[in-house]
Amino acid sequence: MTIAVAGAQKTVPDGLTLAGLIEREQVETPQYVTVSLNEDFVEQGAFGGTVLREGDAVEFLYFMGGGCGSPLRARKKTRSRCACSRMDGVSAARTEGGPC
């Protein structure tokens, strides 16, 4: 069957689930991905039981906080520099007012 994945037409086997598609597409950090199926969000707990159908449109989305002002990403802040931990675990430094 044919479905759209991120706008590209792909042929996939009948009976493929969202969980199977995530694995097949080698989605990075699948624990953080949000999936839109035909413009409706699908709960992560439903990925394994959501069977794709001919013509479905699937999008993989990541919602991320930004900068050192985000409590989820701030690690250490000094007077003139800020050290942040990105979602991939890599540390970055910036001066005040600039991006991490």
Is this structure's pTM higher than 0.75? no
DSSP secondary structure letters along 4-21: EETTEEEE--TT-BHHHH
Give the confidence band of 28 by pLDDT, cuts at 50, 70, 90: confident
Tell me what pLDDT residue 89 has: 46
pLDDT in tens, 33-87: 999 999 999 999 999 999 999 999 999 998 776 655 544 443 433 344 444 444 4
Pairing state between β 57-61 and 2-5: parallel
Instruction: Catalogue all structural domains in the chain, each as residue range(s) with its CATH number.
Output: 2-61 (3.10.20.30), 65-100 (no CATH)
